[in-house]
Structure 1
Amino acid sequence: MPDRPEPLPGTAPAPATTPRRSAPQRIAVISASVGAGHDGAAAGLADRLTAQGFTVDRQDFLDVLPAGAGRLLCGSYHRLLTWAPEGYQHLYRATDRASRPGLVWRALFRSAERRLLRGLAPDTCAVVSTYPGASQVLGALRLRGRLTVPALTYLTDFSVHALWIAPGIDAHLAVHAVPAAQAHAQGAAGVTVAGPVTDARFTPATDGQRPAARTRFGLPAQAPLALLVAGSWGVGPVRRAAAEIRATGLAVPVVVCGRNTALVEELKQDGIAFAFGWVDDMPGLMHACDVLVQNAGGLTSLEAFAAGLPVASYRCIPGHGRTNAEALEEAGLAAWIRGPEDLAPVLADLLHGARGSDQRAAGIALHRSAPGPVPAVAARTGHRPDGTPPSQGPGGPRWRRQNRRRGRARVVAAVAAVVATLTLGIAAPLADAFGHAPGGIIAVTHYLDGDRS
């Protein structure tokens, strides 16, 4: 019998018989159509998982809530932001202080469990949530052993509200060390700095792209342009912000109003010449502009970082808009302009000064510093080339062994947290650990899940 040919370098030896090709591993991604940020992150994650050979199923968490409760919840949130923003601020703060969701929230989440489980294919090997309500349901299912595959949360915000952290979730993936530190401080399990997910079209503009984009959108050829965004709903004091940017004389405001068509007309009546509704080519519009001014700190900020735009947070919406602004400023990624008296000097520095150069570099570095969440998700699927089965869910022997280790880890973590807080604060030591850890994905896995009440 002739010898088998030597394998090429970096490949496995050829088997004696050709194995049957295994089906792609299936991962479910659960988002919520509340605005566009959660869905945008889910779409980017799904695209990258698919490119790596996974089969991806998408679910909208609002659809699994009973009797139209999801749409009612979304509509109420929208109306609260529009008509009573400070009421939303109080609600956000009250729920952020709670150690666990209130009775109404728990009842609502419990009612979604069966429908969510029915939506998972039998061969699903992991579930990823980009919405806090979905994470609460998945965590509860994991704790009771009804969901036997890993459940992960991809934190889409730079600030981490308490609802994001659900006992039972196996891992929490953050875009930066600042939200990772906040999640860890709240007892999140498997905290990992995975990096952001944005469309690959968001890149710094070349010399040729900028004038072409300005021509395509009918924008001034030479004037500095400030791109003002307010999410897909176009909420917040957008008209006031646009007028104040124009009054500085430093930049021409270019406003994107999302699906708020009434706001477009109001801005034009105010004399804001460049007001757009929903824009499909946001990468092109960012190529045309010189600075981004935003009020919510969501996906658009991450896109601007990838596009090389300096970012300012101004006249932020209540709740997550303000906490995201604070976290982005702490990360050195965006300036938080707290009052109109600071608008002109900060804009000038972002457009022409060192602050703008520093933030452009920091934003681009954010997208290059970590490989994104796909490797972290893949590592949690439990499937390996040697056929190792998925890890057992809560209740099995392996889970009990892990839980004993978690008890010891809680003691170690508590001591470490006290030391860190009394010296440099939690963000600094975590950021240092993230910066020096090997391997590209930087994990701080203390496994502090369990009852936080």
Structure 2
Amino acid sequence: MPVEISDGDRVVIVSARVGAGHDGAARELARWLAERGVRADRVDFLDLLPGRLGQTLCGAYHRQLQVAPRSWDWLLGALGSPALAALARRLAALASAGLAEVVGDDARLVVSTYPLATHAAAHLRARGRLAAGLVAYLTDPSVHRLCVSAQADLTVAPNETAARQARAWGAGRVLVAPPLVAPAFRPVAGAAERTRLRFAHGLPADRALALVVSGSWGVGEVERTVADLRADGSAEPVVVCGRNDALRERLRNAGLRHVFGWVDPMADLMRASDLVVQNAGGLTTSEALATGLPVLTYRCLPGHGRANAAVLDQEGTVPWVRTPDALGPALRAALAREAAPALPIEVAG
């Protein structure tokens, strides 16, 4: 069916609390739709699974990234096989009954920002139980087999590389649209605003600052990244640990002065900084680029982190720093060039 919505229509957006990227995309889609008079209801895929299965899956994924992150690289590769991908789609189908209830008879459109949610909706579509249109909204620069369903009426990709990958996995109609980010992520107005923001957050006014981010869970080789930044000395690290309280305490005990936990005014910290060092290439990267900051990928997460890093580096958007010896030159090159102005975000219909 054609993907068309208008003022007064109801849209169901399905994300998942697996990190912050899927939820962040869902939140901004809901805001964008609401500004156009569309009612947008958000639901978490994990809550649609029977019993405590969703909570169990989320916890297992979190522990895997903390305890054995390299195994995620292997698992993601294994899920690229037809057999295991089919198994994952059957798991997703367990949420289809709950999704059908949420969608009801009046939803005009279902938008999924999470791959398994896409397949839950596709399961309903294949069985004639989903009359609403289905849009798969891709949140990563790279595309895995499980991100795509031929049942979707439209797949929204964040870049041309992702669009090509989606088509190769069997997507039908594909639209390229820059990621939506919150309006707060804008370039700094000038030196006075940057100075004010640094003072408000207890940051030094006379040093280049590298904002180190590792997702809402604070996973990856964050401590090694911080040690490498301190050893180089080109920029002082400012670390956001998300909900990883143990990481925050370890860094503080190691003598790091500028360490934050979960940060609501992330846009303020970005405008106070000179560049961002990240390890996954998802929502934070889009937010930093919208803020006009140079971004580097360093010590990236296995699996989707590496895949995203490769695409961003190939497109010339975010350099992938692969070794500690290359970090210093990359930092100095990023600091030497003026931050590029943020591109206006336009979403085609």
Scaled by the length of structure 1, the TM-score of the pair is: 0.74
Q: Which of 109, 121, 127 is residue 144 of structure 1 equivalent to?
A: 127
Q: Does the aligned pair in 2 maintain the 1:143–1:167 contact within 8 Å?
A: no
Contact 1:225 1:291 (C-alpha < 8 Å) held by counterparts: yes
Q: Aligned partners of 1:143, 1:102: CA distance in 2, in Å?
A: 14
1:349 paired residue number: 333
Distance 1:175 1:33 in 2: 20
1:297 Cα shift? 0.8
Task: Tell me which residue corresponds to 1:33.
Answer: 17
1:80 and 2:64 aligned: yes
* Corresponding position of 1:180: 163
**Native 8 Å contact 1:99 1:162 kept in 2:** no
**Separation in 2, partners of 1:61, 1:122:** 19
Give 2:241's aligned amino acid.
Answer: C
Counterparts of 1:197 and 1:97, CA distance in 2: 31
Contact 1:100 1:163 in 2 (8 A): no
What pairs with 1:25-424 in structure 2 (closer than 5 Å)? 25-98=9-82, 101-103=85-87, 105-207=88-190, 208-353=192-337, 357=338, 360-361=339-340, 364-365=342-343, 368=344, 371-372=346-347, 375-376=348-349
Cα distance in 1 for partners of 2:307, 2:139 equals 13
Deviation at 1:167, TM superposition (A): 2.4
Structure-1 separation of matches of 2:146 and 2:79:
8
Shift of 1:144: 2.1
SS in 2 for 1:364: coil
Q: Secondary structure at the match of 1:160?
A: coil
Distance (whole Å) between structure 1 residues aligned to residue 109 and residue 233 of structure 2: 52
Q: Secondary structure at the match of 2:179?
A: coil
The secondary structure found in structure 2 opposite 1:29 is: strand
- Return the alpha-carbon distance in structure 1 between the equivalents of residues 232 and 49 of structure 2: 47
Q: Superposition RMSD on alpha carbons, in Å?
A: 1.5
Is the 8 Å Cα contact of residues 65 and 108 (structure 1) preserved in structure 2? no
Q: CA deviation digits over 1:98-139, x for unaligned, max 9?
A: 377233x23322221111100114211010000000001112
1:371 Cα deviation from its structure 2 partner:
1.3
Partner amino acid for 1:188?
A: A
Q: 1:23 deviation in Å?
A: 7.5
Q: Which has the larger Rg?
A: 1
Equivalent residue of 2:189, what SS? coil
Residue 3 (structure 2) aligns with: none
What's the offset of the Cα at 1:87? 1.2
Q: For the residues of structure 1 that align with 2:82 and 2:288, how far apart are their CA atoms? A: 33
Query: CA-to-partner distance for each residue in 1:280-308, whole Å, 9 max, x for gaps?
Result: 10111001000000001110100000000
Q: Secondary structure at the match of 2:218?
A: coil
SS state at 1:67 partner: coil
- In the alignment of these two chains, the number of paired residues is 343
Q: Which amino acid aligns with 1:147?
A: L
Q: CA deviation at 1:204?
A: 0.6
8 Å contact 1:155–1:173 — kept in the other structure?
A: yes
Residue identity over aligned pairs, in percent, reads 46
8 Å CA contact retained: 1:259, 1:277: yes
| Contact persistence 2:93–2:119 (CA under 8 A) | no
8 Å CA contact 2:78–2:84 kept in 1: the answer is no
Q: Please list every run of 5 or more consecutive structure 1 residues that lacks an aligned counterpart in the other structure.
A: 1-21, 377-453
Question: What is the CA–CA distance in structure 2 between the aligned matches of 1:320 and 1:23, rounded to whole Å?
Answer: 36
